[in-house]
Amino acid sequence: MKNFLAALAATACFVIVLLLVYVVHVRLFRVDVVFYAAILDGVLAAALCGAGMLLLRRRFAFSGLERSLLVANWLLLGYCFAISVPTVIDRSLSFYILEKIAQRGGGIRLDAFEQVFTQEYMKEHHLVEVRLTEQQQSGTIVIEGNCVRLTPRGERLASFSRFFRKNLLPRQRLLMGRYTDALTDPFRNSTSQVDYRCR
């Protein structure tokens, strides 16, 4: 029981250190991609707390295995934080909808949402610039002049995503009051006549 309480206290310290590292990082340093930066913050916080645990090993009677498991748990917590808080808030259309409704006095007409997304969301969140930057930093695209091209890694990820979408996403998903498989093949009704391909 004593070790459990000590592990709980150490984990609480990790959470505090993680939040401090994250706040300092996003306030004072440059960030290329929010998700990668938050992952780095989790690794740094786990390393700092792991070092602290070693320095205070007389105080905490953890075995080497217990220390390793604590650090592994902290890394997982850091990953969960990175993907569930800053990344979700940064990318989430759902949060945007809530914030936009609040900004507009608590209500927006249903028939105006297409206008909100195409004329406000894209501009306010710099959606194209953010996503292209993230893909460049991830090594999935390259921009050559006025042409955005997939890298081999990008081709593999696009193939995996397409396979997963077609075969492993829900075939009966609720969309505005009816169940549909529309999102398993969003290109189903996409036009083939476009003039924006790279030559």
Residues 160-190: tens digit of each pLDDT: 999 999 999 999 999 999 999 998 998 888 8
CA distance linking residue 28 with residue 91, whole number of Å: 21
Report whether pLDDT(5) > 80.
Answer: yes
Report whether pLDDT(57) > 80.
Answer: no
Report whether pLDDT(61) > 80.
Answer: no
Model confidence pTM above 0.85: no
What is the 3-state secondary structure of the chain?
CHHHHHHHHHHHHHHHHHHHHHHHHHHHCCCCCHHHHHHHHHHHHHHHHHHHHHHCCCCCCCCHHHHHHHHHHHHHHHHHHHHHCHHHHHHCHHHHHHHHHHHCCCCCCHHHHHHHHHHHHHHHCCHHHHHHHHHHHHCCEEEECCEEEECHHHHHHHHHHHHHHHHHCCCCEEECCEEECHHHCCCCCCCCCCCCCCC
pLDDT at 55: 86
Tokens 């492993």, residue located:
168
pLDDT in tens, 33-44: 999 999 999 999
Confidence of residue 123 (pLDDT cuts 50, 70, 90): very high
Residues found in the chain: 199
Cα torsion angle, 186, 128, 125, 28, sign: positive
How is the chain split into domains, by residue range? 2-90, 94-166
Q: What is the mean pLDDT of residues 124-146?
A: 94
Average pLDDT of the residues of the chain: 93
pLDDT at 135: 96
Confidence of residue 193 (pLDDT cuts 50, 70, 90): confident
Confidence of residue 56 (pLDDT cuts 50, 70, 90): confident
User: Whose CA is closest to 74, among 137, 140, 13, 30?
Assistant: 13
Which of 164-176 are b and which e, b meaning 16 or more Cβ less than 10 Å from the residue's Cβ?
A: eeeeeeeeeeeee
| 165/59: higher pLDDT | 165
Confidence of residue 24 (pLDDT cuts 50, 70, 90): very high
